[in-house]
Amino acid sequence: MGIYDRDYSRPSYDSGRRVSFILPNVTPVVRALLIANVAVFVLEAIGLRGIIERYFALTTGSLAQVLQVWRLISYQFLHGGLMHILFNMIVLYFLGPFLERVWSGQKFLAFYIGCGIVGGIFFHILFLFIGYRGDLVGASGAIMGAVAAMAVLHPNMQVMLFFILPMKLRTACWASIAYFIVSIVLGSNPGGNAAHIGGMLAGAAYALYSIGNFKLAIPHRMSSWEDEIKTDRELAAEVDRILLKVNQHGLASLTKKEKRALQEATKREQKRKF
């Protein structure tokens, strides 16, 4: 909520118990990925799906197409339908900012694309071993990599598997892998499920690597992030008090310190937006 969106017409502002759900602030790389995926989906939706998938989807159609390595990246930005992109982007929106803050934007982008690439390689491995033929589109390999990474970093996080069953994230990941394997055996979307497994293995491997090699950096970044959240909350409470004072006594009643607090809040708000 912006500092100009607060409602001071409510009686007993500080009385009672308030419950709020705070959405994550979108980080720069996650924002760029969201925009890129949605932009490509719009192009597909307006009638360009055929030509886009012909040159950018991952496919086992011919050896020449298999060797077009750019498809290992480009296929990640194509989606087969509204629910496909909606699910992937929701997970990216909620998990991506956390991982980007922990690892930095550049490393998160490499992680995300890398998980998608490994997912695409698993798709091709399936073709080599069982002769599976088909096309692959979607960010699911990269997204499942992010889910697996979160399961390594926060295994006891409570989630709803398939939006139905509550369980720990670590348990949900093992259950998902088992489901993907069974689906491949039964012939249900084998290419897509192979990509899911590949992405998850890559995501878990990178998270384990990061814990082993950046164990001092991760707590430091987490501590900095927590400090920033604490500062935001304290500043928001101060802004609430100041704006309530303005509402009751006018702008002229503010001290220099209170004006500086409003300026600082405005700068932080603008920084989050851009």
Q: pLDDT digits over 172-193, tens only?
A: 889 889 999 998 888 888 888 9
* C-alpha R_g of the chain: 23
| 208-212: average pLDDT | 81
| 247-268: average pLDDT | 76
Residue 266 lies in a domain: yes
**Who wins on pLDDT, 27 or 217?**
27
**Who wins on pLDDT, 28 or 240?**
28
Q: What's the CA gap between 90 and 26, in Å, rounded?
A: 12
Q: What is the tally of structural domains in the chain?
A: 2
| Model confidence pLDDT, tens digit, residues 93-113 | 989 999 998 888 899 999 999
Q: Is the pLDDT of residue 34 over 90?
A: yes
Are residues 197 and 241 located together in one domain of the fold? no
Are residues 36 and 132 located together in one domain of the fold? yes
Predicted structure pTM score: 0.68
Give the N- to C-terminal CA distance of the chain in Å, as an integer.
Answer: 15
| Model confidence pLDDT, tens digit, residues 1-13 | 443 344 333 333 3
| Residue at which a domain ends, from 190, 215, 240 | 215
Residue 13 lies in a domain: no
Residue 207 lies in a domain: yes
**Cβ atoms within 10 A of the Cβ of 92, count?**
21
- Among 164-173, 226-235, 258-267, name the most confident range: 164-173
Sign of CA dihedral 40, 103, 196, 135: positive
Q: Is the pLDDT of residue 85 over 50?
A: yes
Are residues 211 and 224 located together in one domain of the fold? no
Q: CA distances (Å), 120 to each of 63, 106, 210, 253, in order?
A: 15, 21, 23, 62
- The encoded tokens of residue 202 equal 């890559």
- Among 37-41, 126-130, 136-140, 216-220, name the most confident range: 37-41
Domain of residue 44, residue span: 28-215
CATH number at residue 162: 1.20.1540.10
Give me the pLDDT at residue 213, please. Answer: 59
Q: Is the pLDDT of residue 14 over 80?
A: no
